[in-house]
Amino acid sequence: MRALIEFYNSSVGKKLIVGLTGFFLIAYLIIHLFGNLLLFRSDGGAAFDIYAELLPQVVVIRIIEVVLFLIFIFHIITAAYTWLLNKQARGSAYELQKKGETSALTSRTMLLSGSIVYIFLVLHMRQFWYVSRYEAGEHFSMYEVVRATLAEPVYSILYIIAMFLLGFHLKHGFQSAFQTFGLRDKKYASLIEWVGVIFWLLIPIGFASMPIYFLLNF
């Protein structure tokens, strides 16, 4: 236990926690995306409704939910804490600092992109997760809720913007985690870059395709 606390207290340890928790979160994104693809079946949402109804009845899912929530909180708190420590480490600001010439914008705005995604997520949970769990009555159709919400241009556009920022966050986050794990060797750097495309480009596009679909179709 003491070793773990010591590990967390070290700079490298904290970064590792951010990376590891981030990895769990993106693993969940994949599962979430595949489940949601049922929305695209042309059966009027029948399959999606069954899926949405079954999901909360599986005990493992309930456990995963709690774990995921804890991991998410841990990710945010640790990341925000390191941001704070880093602010202190600089001391006074430079009169002129051309950060853009030496590093990527995505790498310098992780707290911002992450915060916006977080705000979106709270709304997202309220709109879907909360409704399906606590406001579902007789003849409840999750598909109907999703369709109605995403047909609303304000929400759809918000969703698309949030997915853009998620991609922005993962563009840096994915490869950065490998660097922190000590696995981003020169040999693998370009491979990691390529696999990263799945996460920062394809997955956000996959999610964004849903609001676009409902916005244009109905």
DSSP 159-182: HHHHHHHHHHHHHHHHHHHHHHHT
- Biggest alpha carbon distance in the chain? 63
- Return the C-alpha torsion angle 192, 197, 200, 205, nearest 10: -160
Residue 115 CB, shortest distance to another protein, in Å, is: 15
By CB under 8 A, name the one of 11, 62, 123, 130 that touches another protein: 11
Residue 99 CB, shortest distance to another protein, in Å, is: 6
Binding mask 61-100 for another protein (x = CB under 8 A): ---------------------x--xx-xxxxxxxxxxxx-
The Cα-based distances of 64 to 71, 103, 183 in angstroms read 10, 36, 27
Binding mask 95-134 for another protein (x = CB under 8 A): xxxxx-xxxx--xx-x------------------------
Given a contact cutoff of 8 angstroms between Cβ atoms, the answer to whether 48 and 39 are in contact is: yes
Measured from the CB atom, the residue of 66 and 93 that comes closer to another protein is 93
SS3 93: coil
By CB under 8 A, the residues from 168 to 207 that bind another protein are 172, 175-176, 178-186, 189
Q: How far apart are CA 125 and CA 134, in angstroms?
A: 12
Q: Which residues are near another protein by CB under 8 A?
A: 3, 6-7, 10-16, 82, 85-86, 88-99, 101-104, 107-108, 110, 172, 175-176, 178-186, 189
